[in-house]
Amino acid sequence: MEAALSVLVSVFFAVAFYLMLSKHTIRILLGVAILGNAVNLLIFTAGRILREVPPIIPIDHDTPPFEVANPLPQALILTAIVISFSFFAFLLVLAYRAYQDIGTDNTDEMRIAEPANEGLPPMGY
């Protein structure tokens, strides 16, 4: 199970990095979304797949009565999902605004903050 999942993680990483190498912000965005999922799956696999039993302790017990899934990676993933989701929402709006304001989604042409062919600083006094 872990082997299959790690192959899946590597495929996700490959797709994400390929998309992020693009010049267009929309493809980079898709890459970021896939990268977030790849990482979540990675943490899940790194925490070992033990059992499909949810780690819930019955009301009259103090410890789980039988072997359960590892809850810690799930807590980490929940945090990471929330964070990557909010980042993705922010980036989506930002990329959309950039496309509206600058008129391109090609990062090579986004040169407002760093204008091209700016020339040299003053050479003499």
Residues between 10 and 39 with contacts to another protein, criterion CB under 8 A = 20, 25, 28, 32, 35-36, 39
**Residue 1 binding another protein, by CB under 8 A:** no
Min separation Cβ 8 and another protein, Å? 14
Number of residues lying near another protein (CB under 8 A)? 49
Buried b / exposed e over 66-97, threshold 16 CB at 10 Å, is eebbeeebeeebeebeeebeeeeeebeeebee
Which residues touch 32 (CB under 8 Å, ≥6 apart)? 16, 20, 87, 88, 91
Q: Which residue has the tokens 């980490």?
A: 76
Q: In this structure, what token pair is assigned to residue 86?
A: 């909010």
Draw the binding track, 37-56, toward another protein (x: CB under 8 A; -: no contact).
--x--xx-xxxx-----x-x
- Closer CB to another protein, residue 25 or residue 69? 25
Q: How far is CA 112 from the centre of its chain?
A: 27
Q: Which is nearer to another protein, 66 or 112 (CB)?
A: 112
Residue 109's contacts (CB-CB under 8 Å, 6 or more residues apart) are 102
- The yes or no reply on residue 83 touching another protein (CB under 8 A) is yes
Residues near another protein, by CB under 8 A: 20, 25, 28, 32, 35-36, 39, 42-43, 45-48, 54, 56, 59, 62, 72-73, 76, 78-80, 82-84, 86-87, 89-91, 94-95, 97-98, 101-102, 107, 110-114, 118-122, 125
